[in-house]
Structure 1
Amino acid sequence: MTCMRLFATGLAAGLVLAATAPAAVQAEDYDFSSWSGLRSTNHTLALQPFFDELKEKSNGEINWILYPGGQLMGARETLGGVRDGVADAGFIAVNFHPSELKHNNVLANMVFDGSDPVAVGGAINETIMLDCPSCDKDWVANNLIYLGGHTTTGYVLMCAEPFDGLEGIKGKKVRATGAFSGILTNMEAVPVNIPPSEMAEGLERGQIDCVLGPIAWLEQYSVMDQIKYVLDVPFGTTRALGLFTMNLDSWNDMSPEHKALMIEGMPGMVARAIGGYISEDERARANGEKKGITFAKPDDAFLAKLADTDPLTKENIATAKSLGVDDAQEIAASFRENLAKWQKIAEQNGHDIDKFEAALKAEIYDKMQF
């Protein structure tokens, strides 16, 4: 029995009990660890409003305490820390854990499939939570349960100094992870795997010349003053970001009523997290232009190199198989099928966050069979 089926059983019971008189439950504090920057919309628009709502709806019985900015654990330490109970839940980036979350990493490395964050976010959550039993087993093996995640807007190249096309990017040290590292290597740049929280220091010390990430990071990670040049074309989007990943023991200790309240609020939390990147991109771009940052379009040669992703897709599957993932092709195919559906949803609804929340509820959270 997978973790999600265990979770579902508890939720089903909770929904029944919630309709009757709730049992008296002692108030409980829960710690949430996030390594996102202090001003991240993951906190201001998604997590903290979710926690406030839970506290109100539970009459104070569910009290989540948010520790942002890596106060408890950094990006690489969060999986082990939440697994071992240092915190009850946390933000876990799948691509920092290629061995522990090897099935999920098939999805995390499909960065070139889909560019609309609403479509990609819906498809990723549906695949992980409904259509990938082996992904679920990764989490269970680490004493975790994945309850909802987000994706970013397009990753663009943001540098301390301008450069001239393919020749100019050669030798540049670029903060990048996962599949993004492969395409930079093909361009003869040098990918450097550091968490976003270390980018400002890396730029300051010359450890990196550029950052590959969403435009929103200019403000979220305080690198606006160090970046002078943005190559304004998306390399792809990061996905399979476990924004709300919970210690399985903490989850199982929750009452059915409290589990039901948690799941009730998840679609809104996920939708607001993804919507936050969209709005933050727009704001950071406007503020960057005011500060004199150059947003430049690449030439045809650069675009052609950027589009040459087929070898990287094959490498993703091969790497997964070398780690013991027997169903890599099936995981990828499931995601692409879900992506096609969610692209239609995104085309119909645009980036309306309320409609996105409703779609997440209808297409994912309401379909969990217990």
Structure 2
Amino acid sequence: MLSACGVAACLALPSGATAQELGLAHWVPGTHPLQTLGMEPWAASIAEASQGRITITIFPAQQLGAAADHYDMARDGIADIGFINPGYQPGRFPIIAAAELPFLFANAKGGAAALTEWYDAYAEQEMGDVYFCMALLHDPGTFHGKQPIVVPEDVRGKNVRPANATQARFVNLLGGASIQVSAPEMREVLSKGAADITQAPWESLYIFGADTLVTHHLDAPIYGSINAFVMNKALVEGMSPEDRAVIDDHCTPEWAERMSAGWADVEAAGRDKIAADPAHTLHRPNEEQMELWHQAAAPLTEEWKQAMAGTGLDADEVLNGLIAALQAHDSYAGDQ
């Protein structure tokens, strides 16, 4: 448990001011770069901007509940702020699931700003029972297995721990079986033989203790796993105008990029670490092999459009808006 007082040296409150201590729940380790390089500076900035009226205590590693429950925890006030992966609840958030489609993100930094900017227009419709703060993503992830993975056929017949619901469907299209558990559980399913392959960004293999279990890696950016910070809506709406302004100022595309930046750099560096380890083998697909991956992923877009039918939105317009936002932030993989 880490209080923003410990990060920001707890500013003295002005006379007559009241303090709020908010609980931020997440499900990665407390040593994760998302906390040390993202959440802690964010919490310190909020404490400073509010002159100590708002402090944040961080509860890492599923202390307050399972990874998949963090949205409902924020909605219900179990946590004031929840770090969520919408893809851990298949079918519940079809709009933001557009960003789970493969081969969209060239990088996480501009990508997080673009994602937040794009989704802000839809958040009230899809996540209206919470206050949507910002969306995040990690450096693009890939497949890591116990045997070589070069082409889509290499996934056929394998048990795979996917990153989210869309990637689970991708695994099924490839002829694999999805073992859908959260990132903190990937080591367990790999070590017990329940999974042969996992999806993850590179450094996460070390963070979650899977680096000794998967030694073959598809050296290609396949997907971005989408995350977000959401807050209890009644809490935010009940804040004073001054405190609400502080929160609004810290829930922006610019803060999404800052929150993702350190995490992205650490994950990207994990690739170099793995490449330098003789126990690991990176398999980089050539142009023809990469085209096979793109062809295999193509049905996912049509399936996503069908899932959008109940939203009342034009799916093409939604997806094109995401691509345009990524292009504006130099983070669309199709332009690379």
TM-score by length of 1: 0.78
Letter matched to residue 323 of structure 2: R
Describe how 1:190-229 pairs up with structure 2 within 5 A. Answer: 190-229=177-216
Indicate if the aligned counterparts of 2:133 and 2:230 stay in contact, CA closer than 8 A. yes
Shift of 1:200: 1.1
Question: Per the alignment, in what secondary structure is the counterpart of residue 69 of structure 1?
Answer: coil
Deviations 1:156-204 (A, max 9, x none): 1111343564444321111112222333223222222111111011111
Aligned: 1:144 with 2:136: no
Query: How far is 1:95 from its partner?
Result: 1.7
Q: Is the 8 A contact 2:25 2:70 kept in 1?
A: yes
User: Counterpart in 1 of 2:305?
Assistant: 317
Identity of aligned residues (%): 21
CA distances 1:236-267 after superposition (whole Å, capped 9, x unpaired): 2223x21x210101111222212222233345
Is the partner of 2:326 in helix, strand or coil?
helix
What CA distance in whole angstroms lies between the structure 2 residues aligned with 1:99 and 1:325?
15
Separation in structure 1 between the aligned mates of residue 263 and residue 312 of structure 2, nearest angstrom: 31
How far the C-alpha of 1:81 sits from its partner, in A, is 1.3
Matches within 5 A, 1:333-344: 333-343=320-330
How many residue pairs get aligned? The number is: 316
Structure 2 distance, partners of 1:161, 1:319, is 34
Q: Deviations over 1:52-79 (max 9, x none)?
A: 2222333332111100111112221111
Q: Work out whether residues 160 and 226 of structure 1, in 8 Å CA contact, stay in contact via their aligned partners in 2.
A: yes
Q: CA deviation at 1:94?
A: 1.6
1:102-156: CA deviation from partner (whole Å, max 9, x where unpaired): 3333x33333323222343222111111x33xx322211xx20111111222221
2:238 to 253, 263, 269: 253
Q: Counterpart of 1:271 in structure 2: which amino acid? A: E
Q: 1:113 aligns with which of 95, 104, 109?
A: 104
3-state SS of 1:215 partner: coil
Asked if 2 retains the 8 angstrom alpha-carbon contact of 1:228 and 1:294, the reply is yes
Q: Select 2:78's aligned residue among 80, 83, 86.
A: 86
Change (3 A) 1:166 1:151: closer
Q: What is aligned with 1:160?
A: 146
The one-letter code of the counterpart of 2:85 is: A
**Greater helix content:** 1
Say if 2:37 is the partner of 1:51: no
The 1:158–1:344 alpha-carbon spacing in structure 2 relative to 1, beyond 3 Å, is closer
C-alpha distance in 2 between matches for 1:186 and 1:99? 17
Q: 1:165 to 1:342 in 2, by over 3 A?
A: closer
Instruction: Say whether the 8 Å CA contact 2:116–2:134 is kept in structure 1.
Output: yes
User: For 2:66, what is the secondary structure of its paired residue?
Assistant: coil
1:251-296 residue CA offsets vs partner (Å, 9 max, x unmatched): 1122221222223334554223321233112332233234432112
In structure 2, give the amino acid aligned to 1:262: I
The answer on whether the counterparts of 1:109 and 1:316 sit within 8 Å (CA) in structure 2 is: no
Q: Which whole-Å CA distance do the structure 2 matches of 1:226 and 1:38 have between them?
A: 23
For residue 301 of structure 1, report the CA deviation from its aligned partner.
5.6
Unaligned 5+ runs, structure 2 = 1-13
CA contact (8 A) 1:173 1:189 kept: yes
| Structure 1 residue 215, shift from structure 2 partner | 0.8
| CA deviation string 1:79-98 (max 9, x = no partner) | 11111110111111122234
CA contact (8 A) 1:162 1:229 kept: yes
Amino acid at match of 1:126: E
For 1:76, what is the secondary structure of its paired residue?
Answer: helix
In the aligned structure 1, how far is the partner of 2:331 from the partner of 2:63? Answer: 40
Give the partner amino acid of 1:310.
A
- Corresponding position: 1:270 with 2:262: no
What residue in structure 1 maps to residue 274 of structure 2?
288
Decide whether aligned partners of structure 1 residues 188 and 343 sit closer, same or farther in structure 2, where only a CA change above 3 A counts. same
1:127 aligns with 2:115: no
Q: CA RMSD in A?
A: 2.5
